[in-house]
Structure 1
């Protein structure tokens, strides 16, 4: 551990995925909320090309603002993780200078969304470096990122998932795709299998539009998932804890209501059209339905072997059945995101939530557990 009595936290954000901007925005919220009397903070950004750099520890620098989308730039102060379990020091490499020791980092808060961050890749790197980190491990992160694998695991665990079809890169014949998708009925939702923030997702109401939707999804991931539409309310539930922290617990659920100007809760609605979205938290559900949503959320979390945090998205049908849509192992984490809002409604405010996640991570060893 760091000799400083205050644990040192590396807040890690940015990354190579299409969700780079969202990750920066998430980091803005955490950098502002983290208790500087309890933690030393080192801000590290990952550029769109994958370079790790020392970043500005200024929350305003990473917030989405009118006319400005934040992006991590190469500062030439490149960050190098420890190279083994017997090496605890993080180093900074700068052109023309000897490596500079930044000091030990006790825990990493990887605020990365999408591929090359939320999918187990960075988690594996941190495991190799023997550095503790917030959130799900390698396997849970990878399964949670891949909508195909996620549905297989959840269905195998007896959890309800909707009908779907998977299209692999060699399955692009338009006639064959229409034949496979037609039994799902209309509308369908075409999604990249391993992307988040609704990037590349299309609603298809006419099979003639299916090839264009598949092509749009394939821009983000060569593997594409086509899901049948489920009639119901979109409900989300936060989960916190797990493993050594005890059985995970669920927040009060929240509900997303999107204006008619959007056909679904798309990328534009999530991040750039707040006036078109209403986030109701807690959701107006009967107590027994709340209990079932929370139960399904915790069971989903446990089925994947998650740790730390996750947001589970479900549909509640007109018959009050609960169907899992997906799990996000690193959900949007700004103070205005649904995950922190659901915990605030459940009695755990944003700074306390950040502190609890760091505490859970510091208590959890790396490696097999």
Structure 2
């Protein structure tokens, strides 16, 4: 009997379109003989629209929008599904209101198995400042950074700029603390471009992180599992632009991905060790992609982890596992099994004193 698999995608997020691309890619890889795939589209305004089961792979993003299908605000239908409960859900949501622990909390309250990280790991992994503070607790080496919130920038801009110039060196990278996919990220090379970059980032988040630039290779590694995770091979990103921005990730297709990355065995082992320590300190489960900087002297710095990496055709995470020996359909199967495994373990927790 096929498992009823709910694909949750879209979302009230600046990464809405990225989520649609991920959902389309998953429908093109999932085994429809194993799963009855139920689409649940979340609009830009936060409405949930549940559609009829897909009968096969989706070819266009428009098929996913469900604008003319389903009932408006069908989160109520999702919560009270009379057509049969979903066996497991796959939240293909990137950014805020999806990757940040909010929807994971909903699934926890509903006691529904779901793919990926739980509430704590999702929220801590989404907030780059909290994530880096936790990394520091277990001694993971990182680039220097400064962080602040919108009201501090409004009242103390001059002092903050001076603080960044004293503690960091040019170039600097300015990022919204709670977004991924390089949305709202800019490179600053002087005071004027720094102020402009902060103003841009503040359009997407109330908290900003400014990191010191480093001359290094960008190398990533996938991690998958629950209590006993495993690492994929490493892969290197070689963007043609100044840095791996949104256009390079999802639109221009010119970025070179070298898998496996050409690194020494010592560097590869250090990355695996750091990836595992990051995974455990955030209490991750299911999957993450760990991102590193590797300098010419083979110094390894952890940049961040992504608790819901993309599954688009050009995304690094599935490519890393393919080169490790796990095909795209197998990857989806394994993630679903990990979700069911973790859910089953949670059912053993006692909630009474009897």
* Mapped contact 1:25–1:70 kept (Cα < 8 A): no
Deviations 1:215-268 (A, max 9, x none): 10000001100001122100000000022xxx1110000000011xx2211111
Residues 1:38 and 2:34 are matched in the alignment: yes
* Mapped contact 1:236–1:253 kept (Cα < 8 A): yes
Instruction: State the 1:284 CA deviation.
Output: 1.0
Closer, same or farther in 2 for the Cα pair 1:74/1:298, shift >3 Å? farther
Indicate which of 200, 219, 231 corresponds to 1:216.
200
* Mapped contact 1:21–1:70 kept (Cα < 8 A): no
Closer, same or farther in 2 for the Cα pair 1:147/1:252, shift >3 Å? same
Q: How does 1:65-84 map to 2 (within 5 A)?
A: 71=65, 73=67, 75-77=69-71, 78-80=74-76
Q: How does 1:41-56 map to 2 (within 5 A)?
A: 41-55=37-51
Task: Describe the SS at the equivalent of 1:211.
Answer: helix
Q: Which residue of 2 aligns with 1:316?
A: 294
Task: Describe the SS at the equivalent of 2:151.
Answer: coil
- Pick which of 114-123 and 300-309 moved more: 300-309
* Mapped contact 2:50–2:78 kept (Cα < 8 A): no
Closer, same or farther in 2 for the Cα pair 1:177/1:74, shift >3 Å? farther
> For the residues of structure 1 that align with 2:269 and 2:77, how far apart are their CA atoms?
43
Residues 1:163 and 2:159 are matched in the alignment: no
Indicate which of 5, 8, 13 corresponds to 1:9.
5
Instruction: State the 1:71 CA deviation.
Output: 4.7
* Mapped contact 1:61–1:70 kept (Cα < 8 A): no
Q: Which residue of 1 aligns with 2:352?
A: none
Instruction: State the 1:61 CA deviation.
Output: 4.7
Task: Describe the SS at the equivalent of 2:141.
Answer: coil
Closer, same or farther in 2 for the Cα pair 1:35/1:140, shift >3 Å? same
How many aligned residue pairs are there? 340
Instruction: State the 1:285 CA deviation.
Output: 1.0
Instruction: State the 1:6 CA deviation.
Output: 2.2
Deviations 1:188-239 (A, max 9, x none): 0000000010000000001122111101000000110000112210000000
Closer, same or farther in 2 for the Cα pair 1:127/1:258, shift >3 Å? same
Instruction: Name the one with the larger helix percent.
Output: 2
Q: Which residue of 1 aligns with 2:233?
A: 252
Structure 1 unaligned blocks of 5 or more: 84-89, 92-100
Residues 1:332 and 2:332 are matched in the alignment: no
Closer, same or farther in 2 for the Cα pair 1:368/1:151, shift >3 Å? farther
Name the TM-score, length of structure 1 as normaliser.
0.88
Instruction: State the 1:62 CA deviation.
Output: 4.5
Instruction: State the 1:70 CA deviation.
Output: 7.0
Q: How does 1:219-368 map to 2 (within 5 A)?
A: 219-243=203-227, 247-259=228-240, 262-275=241-254, 277-365=255-343, 366=346
Instruction: State the 1:336 CA deviation.
Output: 2.9
Instruction: State the 1:41 CA deviation.
Output: 1.3
> For the residues of structure 1 that align with 2:275 and 2:121, how far apart are their CA atoms?
15
Deviations 1:154-205 (A, max 9, x none): 1011111211000112121331121111020100000000001000000000
- Pick which of 201-210 and 289-298 moved more: 289-298
Name the TM-score, length of structure 2 as normaliser.
0.91
